[in-house]
Amino acid sequence: MRGAMAMSILLLLVVLSSFSTASASTKARQVYVVYLGEHAGDKGEEEILAGHHGLLLSVKGSEEEARASLLYSYKHSLNGFAALLSEEEATELSARTEVVSTFPSQGMWSPHTTRSWEFLGLEEGVRFPDSSGRLPPGAKAGGEDVIVGVLDSGIWPESRSFVDEGLGPVPARWKGVCQGGDSFSPSSCNRKIIGARYYVKAYEARYGAVNTTNAYRSPRDHDGHGTHTASTVAGRTVPGVAALGGFAPGTASGGAPLARVAVYKVCWPIPGPNPNIENTCFEADMLAAIDDAVGDGVDVMSVSIGSTGKPLAFADDGIAVGALHAAMRGVVFVCSGGNSGPKPATVSNLAPWMLTVAASSIDRAFISPIKLGNGMVIMGQTVTPYQLPGNKAYPLVYAANAVVPGTPANVSNQCLPKSLAPEKVRGKIVVCLRGTGLRVEKGLEVKQAGGAAIILGNPPAFGGEVPVDAHVLPGTAVSTVDINAILGYINSSSNPTAVLDPSRTVVDVKPSPVMAQFSSRGPNVNEPNILKPDVTAPGLNILAAWSEASSPTKLGGDNRVVKYNIMSGTSMSCPHVSATAVLLKSAHPDWSSAAIRSAIMTTATTSNAEGGPMMDADGTVAGPMDYGSGHIRPVHALDPGLVYDASYQDYLLFACASGGAQLDHSLPCPATPPPPYQLNHPSLAIHGLNGSVTVERAVTNVGGQGNVRYTVAVVEPMGVSVKVSPRNLSFTRTGEKKSFRIKIEPKGRGSWRVNGQFVAGSYTWSDGVHVVRSPIAVLVA
């Protein structure tokens, strides 16, 4: 019996050990992307899929296990796949000669959360677009035959911004589908929304099945972000639009109102106490979307998504890899630069083959007067529809003086959840500061603690930038200067009070544009010899369409339903540039994606609408690390005169020089690749200048036939000598290419070298009609 019992115990231990090992193995598996570079030869989809299965079979125990582990097979543009792998299996695959890179599909990507188009036109002396939706000559009816793919959180198809009235048939070259799912069917698409897909396999591999109480398992947008960005890039012209009961009244329109929209939903809510607030997007899902979009036939991709973690090497960056192969096939890839400013070296989406967008203001404000008890009147801004009753003065209290015991001193003025003492704020206007936590959550905390209203002030880092919010109670927001005045009044009065007057919309605010402080800044931490961001565009307080499944704040308990909402972020500036790319693609269908990026960059301006230099919201003069080449000018971009072109092979050589990344087996890295700054790029950055450097560039004439002569003008960075030769370029035909050299060297070591920062200048080619400007940023060693 003892022998039998011992055998039973042994068997039990074996079973438990096997179960434990299996569980550990299952837990160790995660989604990896296996990137194989460009497709070799003319292979069909079945042959490509069989090759991916074969690679998986080499590390899996059986054919069945290999097939079950495969999530996506990338077949249209890039060659690769996404699969559930252990770390050991991923390492084994990465060692194979046909594999370029293997990297985990991380959920560290997230969205970078209409007067703006009129402002872009007014800045150039034209209305853009006009009330009929017509656009400047050369844009071919607002891009009617151009297809823009939007990677985001989906779309609300019933919005008036996506009606198809007056549009012609879907372009015959379109190969996409309208994928059904929760509350979305093929009939949800039309001649405006011509395609819709969703990608959830990597997300569900990490978090389990989508919770359909706060997300649609379909292309339908529950969040609002995707609807907002899609309507900004290509929404129809809709008269009589206003947000939240009357703010920003007028006509809403996307920049390319007749372009076709293809939706690729890749972002999903992060499970937690308030899943509506934060979305995540996995690389494997995004790569599948990019691959399908290229195969479907999109011309421009608008991606208001970026990394929330440390920037990845180009070969391990899913968006960079997907964008490279999209650009190779002529797709213009536009990305948001991120909302982590004004701290330097925070910009994301860093590859030169994508257009990275910063955010700036427009000339509109939502003025909300604050009348202090001492007679001072301060102008706040808000789109909060609620008013304090009685048009009377209410007591003022500073949050730091009204917190519950135990609140950390460094955040006592932040109005964080459960930080306010109800007995100290009840019935009062509570003064809080921006910083930690969401702005709208601060208003919710004031309301839940019994406060009557909120005044939200900027800390010094945010200066005069005032993003507006639809708070859940009366309230307004003020600049750094104004919050200091309010706090000074509170500290000097034994009974501080204030009256909050109703808000109104005003336009022609000066100066404008101003760089948003939240906009992520350069330099480029992956490759400082490439300037990022590339350009800036309107991204502060932008009105666009919204999901009717999401409240304007997205907070739990906010049950308001709106058709249009006002948002801020580089997520909002990105589609402005995407729309400009649509217009250029329509006007110049034979241009490469690099040429279109060049046209947008070299025609950008560094001046505000009044002719002065663009400023940061803290009152300092902005520069290339803030806005790249400058603020976009869509009309000028249609006729840039000269463009800087670059090929797929040029980008592969660049990657070889930048960290030694071989991105494709078709071009092995040479022993000594040209330095990264030798890429034929529309901007120029030199990091660690030590002695003389000579940079070569080439421009292509796209300004028309006939003899034309360009002359260069140089603005030297402080302490740096810049010599361009030759100083004149002559062209006799369209498409003619000419090369030139730029010699850069330090003039000496002096006080201009401030804290090892980049110094800025420019060189500009002009024929008297076209102005082709390239910024220069130099860091001397």
Query: Out of 116, 152, 629, 636, which one is annotated catalytic?
Result: 152
**Kind plus residue range of the DSSP H or E element containing 648:** helix 648-657
Instruction: Give the span between the Cα atoms of 579 and 121, in whole angstroms.
Output: 13
Instruction: Give the span between the Cα atoms of 686 and 763, in whole angstroms.
Output: 14
Tokens, residue 317: 């960056």
Does the annotation count 152 as an active-site position? yes
CA atoms within 13 A on the CB side of 339: 18
Helix/strand/coil percentages in the chain, nearest 5 = 25, 30, 45
Query: Out of 188, 348, 360, 571, which one is annotated catalytic?
Result: 571
List b or e across 568-594, with b for residues whose CB sees 16 or more CB atoms inside 10 angstroms: bbbbbbbbbbbbbbbbbbbbbeebbbb
Q: How many helices (H) and strands (E) does the chain have?
A: 18, 38
Instruction: Give the span between the Cα atoms of 135 and 142, in whole angstroms.
Output: 6
Does the annotation count 571 as an active-site position? yes
Q: Burial-class residue 516 by CB neighbours within 10 Å (0-12, 13-18, 19+).
A: buried
Of 635, 632, 760, 601, whose CA–CA distance to 360 is shortest?
Answer: 632
Does the annotation count 112 as an active-site position? no
> Which residues does 473 contact at the CB level (< 8 Å), separation at least 6?
384, 386, 443, 446, 447, 451, 452, 453, 454
Beta bridge partners of 684: 776
Instruction: Give the span between the Cα atoms of 776 and 719, in whole angstroms.
Output: 13
Instruction: Give the span between the Cα atoms of 246 and 243, in whole angstroms.
Output: 6
Q: What is the dihedral of CA 343, 538, 444, 490, to 10 degrees?
A: 70
Instruction: Give the span between the Cα atoms of 323 and 101, in whole angstroms.
Output: 16
Q: Which residue has the tokens 């102008």?
A: 379
The 8-class DSSP code of residue 212 comes to: T
Q: What DSSP assignment string belongs to 402-452?
A: SBPTT--GGGTTS--TT-B-HHHHTTSEEEEESSSS-HHHHHHHHHHTT-S
Q: Is the peptide bond before 129 cis (omega within 30 degrees of 0)?
A: yes
Tokens, residue 615: 């400023």
Of 496, 434, 489, 498, whose CA–CA distance to 466 is shortest?
Answer: 434
CA atoms within 13 A on the CB side of 209: 3
Q: Give all strands (DSSP E) within 112-237, no chain letters.
A: 147-152, 193-198
Hey, which residues are catalytic here?
152, 225, 571
